[in-house]
Structure 1
């Protein structure tokens, strides 16, 4: 359960979105569909081919 004011609760999501913003050039997307495809491809790559630290 998340506690108010405890920054450690959301660490995995903060890490994921930090990597996403650093590694994906999402600002070049012209349409929502293009953005959706880029996000889906990144998530697939992130979950299957990258080394995952265990928390």
Structure 2
């Protein structure tokens, strides 16, 4: 893009500002996986995250919290909410365990 003189105005480095909620800082859990994502059977390692989606037509944000099984990349459980709360993640975990 630089060679052709193209510029994306939406994502100028000066215009982007990181504004993620930091929350309270507590203890960091030790890494039990140590980035070794090779497993021999299902339900050995699950990964999770909370992702924010902005939906312009509804003028709101949605938060997705899935659990992914490392063995076969299957989504075990997920929840969607309008707020990133502990209820979002706990509901997702409860659905996965049942």
Same fold (TM over 0.5): no
**Larger % of helix: which?**
1
* Greater Cα radius of gyration, structure 1 or 2: 2
Q: Which structure would you say has the larger RCO, counting Cα contacts within 8 Å and 6 or more residues apart?
A: 1
**Larger % of strand: which?**
2
